[in-house]
Structure 1
Amino acid sequence: MSAVRIAPSILSADFARLGEEIRAIDAAGADWIHVDVMDGHFVPNITIGPGVVKALRKHTAKPFDVHLMIAPVDPFLQAFAEAGADCISVHPESGPHLHRTLQTIKALGKRAGVVLNPGTPVDVIDHVMDLVDLVLVMSVNPGFGGQKFIESQLPKITELRRRIDASGRAIDLEVDGGVDRSNAARVIAAGADALVAGTATFEGGPSRYADNIAALRGL
């Protein structure tokens, strides 16, 4: 398995300085930039839309890992693709036809991800594996940053790692929610190869970002 990728979630960044924050985490060693999009409907919070993603795109060449927590999701896929998303991840619950949604993302030339909430079973991905580039396990319920890691998701990560390896496809296994230096090693040991970290990356301000990212990698 390749070295773990760190994807700082800009949900925990200073929203008054988002461009500067993205440049800072890029310089600090982030692999991807995780963009949490919430609509106040599918989840109880509202964050940003494609216009902000487009404005931020010029601040880094790192991949934009865009997690859409919106419903219905299909009408917005093209807008986020055109705004500069590199990977677009969706929840099975955010539209009636997951397979069609993933086909659309791929047709837009983007990597496609499926997001599993804590209560979403792993079987959801079984018949769409041929379209999936990333599986994102939510280790908190989506909608807010700063939540506590749900321990019951560790066996789910392990089972997904087994299924991904058995598929023979190069699918990233990402984990998002409450990941910090106290549990990152266990999450990686369970099979994750990408970690989303908001609070754990941005705490302490820009002078701490490189150390925070290194700690998540276990360095």
Structure 2
Amino acid sequence: MTALSASVYAADPFHLAEEIEAVLANVESLHLDVMDGVFAPEYGLTARTIEALSESTPKPLDVHLMVAEPRQPAVRFSELGVRSIAIHVEATEDFKELSRIVRSNGSKAYAALRHTTPVAVLEKLADQLDGCLFLTAPAGGGAFDQHAFTRLAQRPAGLYTVVDGKIDPGHFKRLDQMQVDLAVVGAALFSAGDAEVRSEAFSRMLGESGSKERGVSDASPSSLRR
């Protein structure tokens, strides 16, 4: 079943610790956006924040590098022991080398794609990655991409898949039908009321969607794929 990941960048920066604590019981992981104002027109979470989270949270951490020069941050964050690092194929001509470094430090290497990048590029990188991340909205913000589901259908079979960008509950059923592994939710989780209540509801909705589609009897949050 599709699991739920919380995009920390969307949380209230003045109450970051409280916002994270509110959703921890109901999410599979925390998604950490690193942006440089160049690759994406925004600035994301700092290395200091991510390091503090790596030392304090029990949940897996997934770093998403939306930066023009990914080598140094890929090395730094993989050395922190995060679960995965998503590196944009548009930002480097040497994904193979960065993947090797990330994997050697014990993190998984994901290929991240802008919403306009041809999906076929994943076929060429199949032996160099552990999964893929599809941006379903423009990097740094924007509306949900109307072609997102068509693009997802083109990905290599069996490839661990993360979707990130303006995901909301209206997408959950379709994502589960397409066997997407992880749905990153930001604004819909943190910007519309009580994050704890919403995270519990979203996790339950994903579980119910998966049980209906696949006949799974246990749809509790603990049954979501780790």
* TM-score of the alignment, normalized to the shorter chain, above 0.5: yes
In structure 2, what is the Cα distance between the partners aligned to 1:193 and 1:76? 25
Deviation string 1:37-93 (CA, Å, 9 cap, x unpaired) is 111011100122221101122332111011000111002212112334210001011
Q: Give the counterpart of 1:50 among 41, 47, 50.
A: 47
In structure 2, what is the Cα distance between the partners aligned to 1:156 and 1:206? 30
Give the counterpart letter for 2:121 in structure 1: V
Q: Post-superposition shift, 1:216?
A: 4.4
Structure 1 unpaired stretches of 5+: 166-170
Give the counterpart letter for 1:215 in structure 2: M
CA contact (8 A) 1:8 1:201 kept: yes
Question: Taking every aligned residue pair, what percent have the same amino acid on both sides?
Answer: 28
Structure 2 unpaired stretches of 5+: 210-226
In structure 2, what is the Cα distance between the partners aligned to 1:217 and 1:5? 8
* TM-aligned CA distance change 1:207 to 1:63, over 3 Å: closer
> 1:168 corresponds to which residue?
none
Q: Post-superposition shift, 1:197?
A: 0.6
CA contact (8 A) 1:87 1:110 kept: yes
Q: Give the counterpart of 2:154 among 139, 159, 170.
A: 159
State the secondary structure of the residue aligned to 1:37.
Answer: strand
In structure 2, what is the Cα distance between the partners aligned to 1:84 and 1:51? 14
In the alignment, is residue 197 of structure 1 matched against residue 190 of structure 2?
no
CA RMSD, aligned part only? 1.7
Give the counterpart letter for 1:9 in structure 2: S
> 2:176 corresponds to which residue?
188
Q: Give the counterpart of 1:215 among 205, 216, 222.
A: 205
Q: Post-superposition shift, 1:142?
A: 0.8
Give the counterpart letter for 2:135 in structure 1: M
In structure 2, what is the Cα distance between the partners aligned to 1:218 and 1:16? 33
Deviation string 1:85-137 (CA, Å, 9 cap, x unpaired) is 21000101112211111111111211110111111111212122122112111
In structure 1, what is the Cα distance between the partners aligned to 2:90 and 2:34? 15
State the secondary structure of the residue aligned to 2:116.
Answer: coil
Q: Post-superposition shift, 1:218?
A: 4.4
In structure 2, what is the Cα distance between the partners aligned to 1:82 and 1:136? 21
> 2:13 corresponds to which residue?
15
> 2:216 corresponds to which residue?
none
Deviation string 1:1-55 (CA, Å, 9 cap, x unpaired) is xx2111110111111222222222112x100100111110111001222211011
Give the counterpart letter for 2:153 in structure 1: T
Q: Give the counterpart of 1:172 among 140, 160, 168.
A: 160
Deviates more, 1:86-95 or 1:180-189: 180-189
In structure 2, what is the Cα distance between the partners aligned to 1:138 and 1:218? 25
TM-score, length-normalised on structure 2?
Answer: 0.85
* Residues matched between the structures, number: 207
In the alignment, is residue 40 of structure 1 matched against residue 37 of structure 2?
yes
